[in-house]
Structure 1
Amino acid sequence: MKFAYRFSNLLGTVYRRGNLNFTCDGNSVISPVGNRVTVFDLKNNKSDTLPLATQYNVKCVGLSPDGRLAIIVDEGGVALLVSLVCRSVLHRFHFKGSVHSVSFSPDGRKFVITKGNIAQMYHAPGKKREFNAFVLDKTYFGPYDETTCIDWTDDSRCFVVGSKDMSTWVFGAERWDNLIYYALGGHKDAIVACFFESNSLDLYSLSQDGALCVWQCDTPPEGLRLKAPSGWKADLLQQEEDEDNDEGDRESTIRGKAAPAGEEKRGKVTYSRLAKYFFNKEGDFNNLTAAAYHKKTRLLVTGFASGTFHLHELPEFNLIHSLRWVLCSLACWTARADVRYSSGPNSLGQLLVWEWQSESYVLKQQGHFNSMVALAYSPDGQYIVTGGDDGKVKVWNTLSGFCFVTFTEHSSGVTGVTFTATGYVIVTSSMDGTVRAFDLHRYRNFRTFTSPRPTQFSCVAVDSSGEIISAGAQDSFEIFVWSMQTGRLLDVLSGHEGPISGLCFNPMKSILASASWDKTVRLWDMFDSWRTKETLALTSDALAVTFRPDGAELAVATLNSQITFWDPENAVQTGSIEGRHDLKTGRKELDKITAKHSAKGKAFTTLCYSADGHSVLAGGMSRFVCIYHVREQILMKKFEISCNLSLDAMEEFLNRRKMTEFGNLALIDQDAGEDNGVTIPLPGVKKGDMSSRHFKPEIRVTSLRFSPTGRCWAATTTEGLLIYSLDAHMLFDPFELDTSITPGRIREALRQQEFTRAILMAFRLNERKLVQEALESVPRDEIEVVSSSLPELYVEKALEFLASSFEVSHHLEFYLIWTQKLLLLHGQKLKSRAGKLLPVVQFLQKSIQRHLDNVSKLCDWNRYNIQYALAVSKQRGMKRPLEPPGSEAEAGASDDDSLHLLRPAAGDGGGEGMLE
């Protein structure tokens, strides 16, 4: 089995903080999620998380005008220059301070960042190779408080900076003679956003108290004059002018010459306030939190802390829309070319994209309010279901990365989720005392299982037939068994003396394994009067239990950081793995003991077997996930799921810089003076909440599952739902390679029509393009002959290649013929290796099932349209039986019939024709 799993995607975490950006074509939204960045493709309906991460949560993202580069800055001031084309980090830079915003100039040659009360302009990286990608050009001073926002003019000559000191500053990007800086006042609260008008120096400024100021400049952008150089620069330019008398060569010197005498007498650039508008005219006061302005259409959208947003037309300030989405603050807005707006409510982890013309959602995604607790893969690997502490059950599409259904019937935290064998029913357990079954056809809760006495369920399991549901109680130490068909309680299994921590059915038999804190694992026979078949004694409390896919082995994780393996038939322990030193738990900020000693109380809390059963995946209260080889009982690979230092228990040692003579700095709330921090209210003051103090969530892995296809595995963590998959395209992994196998000889064998030999050599070289070329060179009539001549070992490789090709290739029928011939000709031989071939077959089933779903919907839609068109034409033919063919009435009605194919005329009985 290969262990080259790499980070693939992050689901369930839609938005936390930061600014949103649309790409140049407007088809994608770039959103920060924790310490990563996700690209939401609105056109293809997909989400993809970039395979890079910062040390702390992302605070701001700047996108270049051409959409190829992005600057990602985290809370610590570390910036990553990222190529969105090749999805890799090009350069790292530390700004030595917390950066509030970053913005590229429209020409892409410079960018400005704001930190503290200053603004710094850097030369943007170009197409040429540079030793240092970020070169500081100028530092601008002026504001007395922290800066908040940036905006550029269309010609990149000036930029404006807003500040918390209620002032707006206009700076020149070049050394202009008539504009060095200009300060604008007029506000009574912190500046939230400021925008230049299109092709003008006129600007708008918005403050937190809901005030909008319109500023007019008396100078057009073309009226800005370069300042004449002095000193050695003037001498150098004069020398160049003397040497070059040609007018074409003096273009650079003319730009640096002093302005004529008539122009020097002109005054400096001045601003005047034309108007001042207020958003809160009705007296419903709430803070303005975010704003965006579309210069071409002159539309301004503003979001408020109450969840409302307004759409105004400037400069007349005409209200177009006023809507309310959610009862929370809107954290960020951005606009795209055809005026779609996206917002991220920071308290709900929700991302909304709204199109104002059609008044409809383009995208609406939301994660769990609290942390995810459990997950399960569907049998074909296309869907993942997750349950969280917020009581929600969400189903995610692994191909698109979007959640397409959310069940909210549970009133308390979900503790366990699982699919039935058909893949169309989800069974969940919750702390509210219910076990519910959800139908993925009609998206409804069709069964609710309860116990005679109210109890809290900690886990759930479904047998391979999908007829028996079992759930373990946390407080009564009992196991309840129901029938899926009737919904009746079949039996209550007693015998455990501690809370039930895990349940698992044998995939091949009706044997239920239950793990408990009483240091035992009991095996129950579902068909033999619900009796205890065996009791396995452990050395510590059992935390998780799982069966191997073939049911011949049982793995148990215990509190003493061990993983023990058992033979369920003979009740004999076959092996043990010590994972105490592999887990490596971190040290919390408030811990008074080292991480080495605190790890004694930590253990693996979740287990799962790989698809082939050769290895086991384990995780717990740590940032590491371990893969162990079962037979050799050794650690094969360890994955670090997060490097985000904004989470707790990430560092192994105590940072001495956080220690003062008064104690640990972690005991002091650092956000006490910020907008979302703690404010101690005076008597009679309603603003401020002591419950909103700052805290750092602890890193942990709550659940792990391997995909049935074996190509990927998923983990629910503090950051969200992480998916790791095999990246086979970047690996050179030959099979039984020798010097006689080259790409030239493979193509020579294809020219000589020796297809079998060419395919075998291509599989031994294991280059995907060569394998594809060899398979697609086989004529359709000879596929059966070539398939029968392939050895059994290469049939497995051919099926795996076909399964992966179904996801990207358009040659659907051709590859289906290959799959059919291979399975029909070698099906009997492959039965002896059913256990090893199970992941490949499931991968093949997943790929074919996806095409079946897409094509079947299209075919049904076309079939219904054809039936409807035939019914309407038949009905119209019955109404005109006496009209001869080719008459004027028929010719005149032909144009109208094309308009009525999709809509029957009123009162003509079109419904009966449709039913026929």
Structure 2
Amino acid sequence: MKFAYRFSNLLGTVYRRGNLNFTSDGNSVISPVGNRVTVFDLKNNRSDTLPLATKYNIKCVGLSPDGRLAIIVDEGGAALLVSLVCRSVLHHFHFKGSVHSVSFSPDGRKFVVTKGNIAQMYHAPGKKREFNAFVLDKTYFGPYDETTCIDWTDDSRCFVVGSKDMSTWVFGAERWDNLIYYALGGHKDAIVACFFESNSLDLYSLSQDGALCVWQCDTPPEGLRLKAPKGWKADLLQREEEEEEEEEGERETTIQGKAVPAEQEKTGKVKYSRLAKYFFNKEGDFNSLTAAAYHKKTHLLVTGFASGIFHLHELPEFNLIHSLSISDQRVTSVAVNSSGDWIAFGCSGLGQLLVWEWQSESYVLKQQGHFNSMVSLAYSPDGQYIVTGGDDGKVKVWNTLSGFCFITFTEHSSGVTGVTFTATSHVIVTSSMDGTVRAFDLHRYRNFRTFTSPRPTQFSCVAVDSSGEIVSAGAQDSFEIFVWSMQTGRLLDVLSGHEGPISGLCFNPMKSILASSSWDKTVRLWDMFDSWRTKETLAFTSDALAVTFRPDGAELAVATLNSQITFWDPENAVQMGSIEGRHDLKTGRKELDKITAKHSAKGKAFTTLCYSADGQNILAGGMSKFVCLYHVREQILVKRFELSCNLSLDAMEEFLNRRKMTEFGNLALIDQDAGEEEGVAIPLPGVKKGDMSSRHFKPEIRVTSLRFSPTGRCWAATSTEGLLIFSLDAQMLFDPFELDTGVTPRRIREALRQREYTRAILMAFRLNERKLAQEALEAVPQDEIDVVSASLPELYVEKVLEFLAASFEVSRHLEFYLLWTQKLLMSHGQRLKSRAGQLLPVVQFLQKGLQRHLDDVAKLCDWNRYNIQYALAVSKQRGMKRALEPLETEEDSDTSDEDSLHLLGRAGDEEEMPM
């Protein structure tokens, strides 16, 4: 088994904070998620998280006009220049301060950042080869308070900046003679957004109190004239002019930017006048405006408010088009795509991302993560779906291919503590602190069984046996295990014996044996057939926190509070080995810890375990940012994965930051960011206007659940940041198999030309290059697949099956690869049974690809069948109408016959249309 697992996707969280952006084609939304960036492809229905991360949570994202580059700035002011084409970081930069917004000019040559009370203009990177990608051009001063927003004119000549001091400033991107800067007032609250009109210097400004000011400029963009250079620049330009005159002859030329005196007298300085002022809060109730976006071509203004309401207005007449509510939380960010059809909304309070098509009044995308931490996850047996349960009481099912949540169950009234799939992949069983265990049907999306205990109790874990008929759940307060029948919903038995809360349950995949771990320092094995009696009791020196069986059921792994993982033989109750994991956890130091990270690690342990698909390795995670992969037989650490590098989370740093220690104590005790979201000024440390019970705190990094995919290609972890998927990076891996000097691409193609297909396939899989293997397999004629597949050695059958399973996800040659799969399994099926345990991940990988194609073809067939039925019904209805028409005169009858023939022809066309 290879260990080249790399971060591939982030599910469970769709938006945290920051600004949303549409790509230049308008088909994708770029959303900041913590310290990562996720791209939601709305056209192809996929979500993909970029394989990069900032040190702190992302504050703002600026996208270049061509959509190739993005500047990502975090809360600390550190910036990443990212190529969205190759999905990699091109340059690192630090703005030396907190940046509020970033905006590229429409021509893509410059970009402006607002930092503190200044605006800085930089040369855009990538336009020319230079050593430093970020070159500062100018710094603009003017506002007295923090700057909040930026917008550019269409010709990139000017930009406007809004500020918290209730003023709006228009700056020239060049040294214009009649416009250096212009300050606009008229508002009574902080500016939220400001926008230029299309091909004009007219602009709109919006403030937090819900006021919109319309400003008219007396000068068109073409009326801006460059300032005449002075000193040595003027002399240099004069010399260049004289040289050109000597070469080309006498002709009238003027220095660029130097205006003719008569023209200068005609046009004076640029002046603005306020045309109108509108208010959104017409009813009188104060509802602060929090976000806005403007589409210049359609004159569409979208505004979001703190109550979750958004308005659509047509400017400059301020005509209301829509007024709808999307949630009860504040709208944090708004974006409009290039065509003006789709509007994206982000709500940071709920972690919600919506894309709304305003003309049809329908959702293009509606996604929301768990707004509390995720506690548990489970893979479906075919690896297509992941189910997660969170502290918010929601159960969400995610598609691993698209990355989207397609169903959310909200029947639980308290936190979900455990989730699992049955063997059929169609039923999800969940346990909760509300005292219920529920079963959900994935065909009809409903809760069809609810299991309860005789006395109200809180369930901490759940397990289902391999047949899917027995459901068991462990209680946290009564220390009992409850067993129900899935068929009838009746309580079969209550297993008692533990003297502490039940921390984990797991059924043996091969036998009817249930293992339960408890805080009473024991793990008990219960025999489901022998009157639910305790078969064995395994004693430990510390509390048992997690228990899991190997996929073949021949080994049991237990994690205890003293940071150890012990392995047991469940048949003989003999310990087979142990792993000491205290030093591998490497827990960080919290901001308020009085002890060092080294000493605090003594109280930390692994809280979740998971065997790999082949059973040779085990994943372990707990109160740390690291997930450890151990080799079971050798009992060594194979690889350690770092889930996050986000310093906005607590317990990330190993040493205390001395800069946060003042003479008054730790700065972490003061809610410094408490007033940022609500716009409330904090007069004293600890004093906050509004709800006194709400307090800002840094969430602690931890891993609550780990699961390997049944296909063995990836594994998932629920952490504070969300649901992280790590998969095998096959593109970057050179992994030959029994390679020698005689295996080259040239010899493989020579064998194919000589029609020696078996030898070519064997050499291609020894070289283990995907394109060569694909070329060799697809060169085999269809009628010779049977002979070639039977002649393959058994050692290569697994390699070919794994390649076929991967090809089902990307290739369109469905029938061809299905023939290969069928012939291989028919020829080598009997011999492969002896290695069923090792081949199980490959078979499940095949099943995953085939099931996806089956679902797609089934939907297409259903759609065609319904269309054919509709066409038949329409043709019958027209035939009946023709038969019931009364006979008229001969002329009329002639025309009616012609019409009936025409109708019959059309009905026949409609019948044949779906075919």
Same-fold call, TM > 0.5? yes
Cα distance change on mapping 1:681 and 1:655 into 2, 3 Å:
closer
Cα distance per residue 1:529-587 (max 9 Å; x no partner): 10101111112100000000000000000000000000000100000000000001000
Change (3 A) 1:830 1:29: same
Residue aligning to 2:844: 842
Q: Structure 1: how far apart are the matches of 2:645 and 2:248? A: 56
Alignment of 1:14-33 (within 5 A): 14-33=14-33
CA contact (8 A) 1:212 1:277 kept: yes
Tell me which residue corresponds to 2:177. Answer: 177
> Tell me, what secondary structure is at the counterpart of 1:666?
helix
TM-score (norm 1): 0.96
Structure 1 residue aligned with 2:336 = 335
Q: Is the 8 A contact 2:14 2:368 kept in 1?
A: yes
The letter of the residue matching 2:293 is A
Distance 1:623 1:842 in 2: 30
Is the 8 Å Cα contact of residues 676 and 692 (structure 1) preserved in structure 2? no
Aligned residue for 2:490? Answer: 488
1:221 corresponding residue in structure 2: 221
Superposition map of 1:123-522 within 5 A: 123-245=123-245, 254=254, 256-265=256-265, 266-339=267-340, 340-522=342-524
Are residues 1:6 and 2:16 paired?
A: no
Answer yes or no: is the 8 Å Cα contact 1:681–1:687 preserved in 2.
Answer: no
Distance across 1 between alignment mates of 2:344 and 2:590: 36
Secondary structure of the corresponding residue to residue 71 of structure 1: strand
Aligned length: 901
- Give the direction of change, closer, same or farther, for the CA distance of 1:773–1:884 in structure 2 (3 Å limit): farther
Q: Structure 1 residues 670, 257: CA separation in 2 closer, same or farther (over 3 Å shift)?
A: closer
Q: Which amino acid aligns with 1:865?
A: N
**2:17 partner amino acid:** R
> Could you tell me whether the CA contact under 8 Å between 2:674 and 2:688 is conserved in 1?
no
Give CA-to-partner distance per residue, 1:788-816, whole Å, 9 cap, x none.
11111111000000000000001111100
Letter in 1 for 2:527: D
2-structure distance, mates of 1:225, 1:373: 62
Shift of 1:900: 8.2
Which of 892, 898, 903 does residue 888 from structure 1 map onto? 898
Alpha-carbon displacement from aligned partner over 1:87-109 (angstroms, at most 9, x marks no partner): 00000000000000000000000
* Residue type at the aligned position of 2:142: G
1:582–1:248: structure 2 CA closer, same or farther, 3 Å change rule? farther
Match of 1:731 in 2: 733
> What do residues 382-403 of structure 1 show as CA deviations (whole Å, max 9, x unaligned)?
0000000010000000000000
Q: Could you tell me how far apart the structure 1 residues matched to 2:249 and 2:764 are?
A: 60
Q: Secondary structure at the match of 2:731?
A: helix
SS in 2 for 1:833: helix
Letter in 2 for 1:52: L
Per-residue deviation, 1:262:
1.3
Q: 1:295 to 1:525 in 2, by over 3 A?
A: same
Q: Quick one: distance in 1 between partners of 2:728 and 2:677? A: 43
What is the DSSP-based 3-state SS (H/G/I as helix, E as strand, rest coil) of the residue aligned with 1:728? coil
Query: Does the CA contact (< 8 Å) of 2:237 and 2:255 recur in 1?
Result: no
User: 1:29 offset after TM fit, Å?
Assistant: 0.4
Q: Which one is further off, 887-896 or 590-599?
A: 887-896
- The equivalent of 1:911 in structure 2 is none
Q: Residue in 1 aligned with 2:748?
A: 746
Identify the range of structure 1 (604-613 vs 122-131) with the bigger mean alpha-carbon deviation: 122-131
CA distance in 2 between counterparts of 1:381 and 1:440 reads 15
CA contact (8 A) 2:878 2:903 kept: no
Matched, 1:582 2:592: no
Residue 831 of structure 2 aligns to a residue whose secondary structure is: helix
1:875 Cα deviation after fit: 6.3
For the Cα contact (< 8 Å) 2:879–2:904, is it kept in 1? no
Q: Which residue of 2 aligns with 1:56?
A: 56
TM-score (norm 2): 0.96
- SS of alignment partner, residue 491 of structure 1: strand
Aligned pair in 2 of structure 1 residues 552, 143: CA closer, same or farther (>3 Å)?
same
The one-character-per-residue Cα deviations of 1:413-434 (angstroms, maximum 9, x if unpaired) are 0000000000000000000000
Retained in 1: the 8 A contact 2:238–2:255?
no
**CA 1:487–1:125: 2 relative to 1, 3 Å:** same
Amino acid at match of 2:395: V
Equivalent residue, structure 1, for 2:665: 663
* Other-structure match for 1:533: 535
Q: Does 1:762 align with 2:772?
A: no
251-260 or 719-728: bigger deviation:
251-260
Shift in alpha-carbon separation, 1:255–1:448, aligned structure 2, 3 A: farther
CA-CA distance at 1:14 after TM superposition: 1.0
| TM-superposed deviation, 1:324 | 1.2
Contact map agreement 1:226 1:255 (CA 8 A) in 2: no
Does the C-alpha gap of structure 1 residues 901 and 308 become closer, same or farther in structure 2, counting only changes over 3 Å? farther
**1:891 is matched by which residue type in structure 2?**
L
Partner SS state of residue 335, structure 2: strand
Check whether the contact 2:435–2:453 (CA below 8 A) recurs between aligned residues: yes
Distance 1:879 1:352, change over 3 A: closer
CA contact (8 A) 1:679 1:688 kept: no
For residues 793 and 167 of structure 1, the distance between their equivalents in structure 2, rounded to whole angstroms, comes to 74
Alpha-carbon distance between aligned partners in 1 of 2:32 and 2:912, rounded to the nearest angstrom = 44
Taking the aligned partners of 1:816 and 1:203, their CA distance within structure 2 comes to 61
Q: Report the secondary structure of 2:726's partner residue.
A: strand
The residue aligned with 1:542 is: 544
Q: What is the alpha-carbon root mean square deviation over aligned residues?
A: 2.2
Match of 1:103?
A: 103
Residue 257 and residue 317 in structure 1: after superposition, are their counterparts in 2 closer, same or farther (change >3 A)? closer
Quick one: which amino acid aligns to residue 204 of structure 2? Y
Distance 1:885 1:245 in 2: 84
Secondary structure of 1:799's partner?
Answer: helix
User: CA separation in 2, counterparts of 1:253 and 1:805?
Assistant: 67
How far 1:284 moved relative to its partner? 2.1
1:121 and 2:121 are equivalent in the alignment? yes
Shift of 1:893: 1.1
Q: In the superposition, relative to structure 1, how do residues 759 and 156 fare at CA in structure 2: closer, same or farther (>3 Å)?
A: same
Amino acid in the other structure paired with 1:753: R
Matched, 1:792 2:802: no
What do residues 652-694 of structure 1 show as CA deviations (whole Å, max 9, x unaligned)?
A: 1001111111111111111254343777899xx9961223322
Displacement, 1:888? Answer: 1.7
Greater CA deviation, 257-266 or 199-208?
257-266
- Between the aligned partners of 1:895 and 1:148, the Cα distance in structure 2 is 65
Contact 1:796–1:837 under 8 Å retained in 2: yes
Q: Distance in 2 between matches of 1:613 and 1:254?
A: 81
Distance in 2 (alpha carbons) for counterparts of 1:278 and 1:250: 60
Aligned mates of 1:181, 1:868 — CA distance in 2: 66
Match of 2:890 in 1: none
Q: Which sits farther off after the overlay, 209-218 or 253-262? A: 253-262
- Per-residue CA distance 1:711-739 (angstroms, 9 max, x = gap): 00000000000000001012111111111
CA distance in 1, matches of 2:909, 2:80: 56
Does the C-alpha gap of structure 1 residues 325 and 257 become closer, same or farther in structure 2, counting only changes over 3 Å? closer
Q: Residues 672 and 326 of structure 1: is their aligned pair in 2 closer, same or farther, counting only changes over 3 Å? A: closer
Match of 1:910 in 2: none
Q: Aligned letter for 1:132?
A: N
In 2 relative to 1, CA 366–788 (structure 1 residues): closer, same or farther, beyond 3 Å? Answer: same
* Distance (whole Å) between structure 1 residues aligned to residue 760 and residue 871 of structure 2: 50
SS at match of 1:730: coil
Deviation at 1:161, TM superposition (A): 0.2
Helix, strand or coil: the match of 1:327? coil
SS in 1 for 2:809: coil
What secondary structure does 1:53 align onto?
A: coil
In the alignment, residue 276 of structure 1 is paired with which amino acid? K
- Letter of the aligned partner of 1:289 in structure 2? T
Q: CA separation in 2, counterparts of 1:81 and 1:634?
A: 39
Task: Tell me whether 883-892 or 861-870 shows the greater mean CA deviation.
Answer: 883-892
Query: Do 2:382 and 2:425's aligned partners in 1 also have CA atoms closer than 8 Å?
Result: yes
CA contact (8 A) 1:391 1:410 kept: yes
* 1:544-583 mapped onto 2 (5 Å cutoff): 544-583=546-585
**1:671–1:677 CA contact under 8 A, matched in 2:** no
Unaligned runs of 5+ in 1: 904-916
**Per-residue deviation at 1:876?**
5.4
Q: d(CA) in 1 for partners of 2:521 and 2:780?
A: 60
